Each structure stands twice: as C-alpha cells, then as structure tokens.
A = this chain, B = another copy of it.
Amino acid sequence: MTSDFSATRALFHLPEGVIYLDGNSLGPLPRAAASRIAACVTQEWGDMLIGGWNKAGWMDQPARLGDRIARLIGATPGSVVLGDTLSIKVWQALAAALELRPGRRVILSDTGNFPSDLYMADGLVRTLGAGHELRTVAPEAVGPAISDDLAVLMLTEVDYRTGRKHDMASLITRAHAAGALVVWDLAHSAGAIPVDLAGAGADFAVGCTYKYLNSGPGGPAFIYVAPHLADRVRPALSGWLGHEQPFAFDAAYRPGRGIERMRVGTPPVLQMAALEASLDIWESIDMADLRARSIELTETFIQSVEAACPTLVLASPRDPHHRGSQVSFRHPQGYAIMQALIARGVIGDFRAPDILRFGFAPLYTAPEDVTAAAAILAEIMATDAWDRPQFKTRARVT
C-alpha cells in the first residue's frame, strides 16, 4: 500500500485562502460526504422511511464502521463499535473496567488529561461512592504512581494541549503487572498516529471521529473492548441496542454478543453517513506512511517557527516519537497571536492559558501549507501584528 497524500488532499473541501491546522479539533469536509449525506437523507430516510434500518443497513452501521476504524487503531474486526459521545464512552469503559476488578476502587489518571474525561470519571466515582476514588498525578508521574490498589488506569494517549504522547505499551505492561486494567482515550491518536491496541494488549479504548477521522461536527464516538474481555462486561448503560435481541422487546436485559453490548440507543444515522464517506478515504492509507509524513510536517513547522520566532516557546516534545501529530507553542499573548493568524487565513487554535495549538493531518495538509503558515506566523511576530485591540478582545472561545 502506498499512500498518495496529494490525491487525498483533493478529496477534501478546503476553503480558498485558508491553511487549516485545526483538524485536531474538527476535521474538514470530505467532498464525497456531501453527496453521501444527501443520498442518506433523500434516498434512504426520504424514500425507505422506516425500512432504512434494514434496507440501507443503518442498524449494522455502528459495527460495520467500527471494523473500518479497527484497522486504523490496530484492533481486530468485531472489537470496535460506534455510538454516543466520547464522554459517554469514557464513562462506559470506566464502569465496565471497575466491575472487572472487584474489590479495587481507584481510577488513576493524569492532570493533563482532557477535562471531560476527568469530569466523567469524577461523576462515576461520586455515583458509585463506597470508597471509589479518582486519583490524578502529573503526566510524567503516571508510571511510578501505578500501585496495587489500582482498578483502572485512564489515560489520553496524546495530550490535547501539548501533543505529548504516552508510551502505551509500557504503561499497559506496568498496569497489568499491578493487576489493573487500562482505558485509553484515542481522541488525538485515531487517524493521527499508528496505534496498536491488540499488540500493546490494551483492555479498553475510546475515541472520537470528528477530529483526524473527519466525520463532521458531533460525529459519533467509538469504543474498543479487548475480545477476551468483551463477553465478561456487564454494561452499566444497558440500552436496548446492546441487548442480545433488541426487537424481541424482552422485559429483561440480556447483553448482546461481545462488543455489540456496548451499544446503547439509536445510532445517529446522518452523522454515520458522513463518517462512512470519510472512512472511504482512509482505505488507501498506510499508517506507517501517515506517521512518516506527519513527522516531516511537524519537524518542518518546529524548525521554521523556532528559527524565526524566538519568543515562541515549544510546548510539545522535541522528539517526534514522543508527540502526536500536533505542535504547540507557548506565548503570554497566545490568544491575540492566534486571532491575528486566523485573520490571515491560518487556522489553529488557542488553549488557555497560553497555548497556540496546530494540528497536522497528512490527508490534507501539504508541506507547502506548513512553510506558508510558518512564514505568516513569523511575519506576525516580527511586526507585532497581533498587538491590536481586535485581536485581544476575547469572544467565546471554542
């Protein structure tokens, strides 16, 4: 398989005059998604009506698309299913993992984790009570903090602010040695870097599809459960579509086979159609090629920015093997600088208190985009172009 990134770039709609380095927040529109969604709306919903659940395959879609995502994250077919939001999937994985470790009550995470993961874990331990605890340590202190009272280690592989990447395989080994299970959040990994869930011996993983996987705003999340664990999970969110026979309308819940039991309610069919169009593009991509291209792009950006902008401080690991597919810089005026960049057509984003964050997606980010973006940033810094009132007024930040 040889990935042709100039060919994939043409498959995305990228507005004229925009260099889009924010695909780690929301990926751009795959051109084919527009017609795929339109067909889903008019030919499926419109013409098939209720029949679409079977005739258009809506009911099987969460598992079918799960299999296509599985390849991108090193999972076997039948171990990934789509649905809900990432926050719900985090909660679901944590609840399942805790129940598989009776007698243990501690979830360990790191302070750099995405806040919603921590919030959901906090809500879960509060709901469970009885001594359940969410413990957090600094990202670099996670390994030493793995102790024998741990039920679950919950980590986001790639830090949303800095792009710092945890060493998945070694942390899993360490957690397993302590008798704990591990839940990985792949929000900034899936479609960004090669992931080898099966090879690393991962227990649970969750992720979203609207970042590097380009499924559009509010696209469904996914969940992975290791095949040897899936049939042992007793779903806490025991919804009808995770039932062994949803349409038998039994009074009692019986979990479905394997990963199917992690489904909850009715899948968002229109969002699934967008994801399907996006996954067609991924079919031609080799993840090793993607990683090589990603490192080329991020290295170029770091070198160009550091050479021209001495006041911007690299916030991402310098070693590309320790970061995902994003690069972040710190600056006290980070907010204004990002607004000035956006005004010039370079779209990245700002994360409080001082992080300028840039995502690099080989599917549509070309080397010339990277040098052009770095040049515009250099010009803004050299001329203090960010130092204007309109760039300093904080509107709602998303």
Contacts and interface: CB of A to CB of B under 8 A. Distances in A.
A253 to B, nearest CB: 4
A139 interface: no
A367 interface: no
Given A29-B41, A398-B54, A218 B271 contact: yes
A47 interface: yes
A145 B118 CA distance: 40
Contacts of A119: 238-240, 243, 253
A218 B266 contact: yes
Given A54-B395, A58-B218, A87-B264, 19 more contacts: A15-B49, A18-B49, A20-B49, A25-B50, A26-B50, A29-B45, A33-B41, A37-B37, A87-B265, A115-B240, A115-B249, A115-B250, A118-B253, A119-B243, A119-B253, A129-B130, A216-B270, A270-B271, A270-B274
Interface in A225-244: 234-241, 243
B46 A270 contact: no
20 contacts: A13-B46, A28-B49, A29-B45, A37-B38, A51-B347, A59-B398, A85-B266, A86-B266, A87-B240, A88-B237, A116-B265, A119-B253, A123-B237, A126-B234, A129-B130, A217-B269, A218-B266, A218-B268, A218-B269, A247-B352
A-B CB proximity, top 8 nearest: A85-B265, A116-B240, A123-B238, A217-B269, A87-B239, A218-B268, A87-B265, A119-B253
Nearest to A210: B266
Nearest to A18: B49
Interface of A: 13, 15, 18, 20, 22, 25-26, 28-29, 33-34, 37-38, 41-42, 44-47, 49-54, 58-59, 84-88, 91, 95, 111, 114-116, 118-120, 122-124, 126-130, 136, 208, 210, 216-221, 234-241, 243, 247-253, 264-272, 274, 347, 349, 351-352, 395-398
**Most chain B CB within a 10 A radius of its CB, from A25, A86, A347, A398:** A398
A199 to B, nearest CB: 29
Contacts of A91: 237
A95 B270 CA distance: 29
A22 B265 CA distance: 19
A116 to B, nearest CB: 4
A219 B41 CA distance: 12
Contacts of A267: 217-218
A237 B398 contact: no
A177 to B, nearest CB: 28
Contacts of A46: 13, 15, 28-29, 34
A122 B138 CA distance: 37
A347 B120 CA distance: 42
A203 B392 CA distance: 44
A53 B398 contact: yes
Contacts of A26: 45, 49-50, 52-53
Contact of A352 (B15, B136, B249, B397): B249
Given A217-B269, A253-B119, A49 B85 contact: no
A13 B34 contact: no
Given A128-B127, A270-B217, A87 B49 contact: no
A203 to B, nearest CB: 19
B266 A54 contact: no
Contact of A38 (B38, B210, B216, B268): B38
Contacts of A247: 352, 396-398
A313 to B, nearest CB: 20
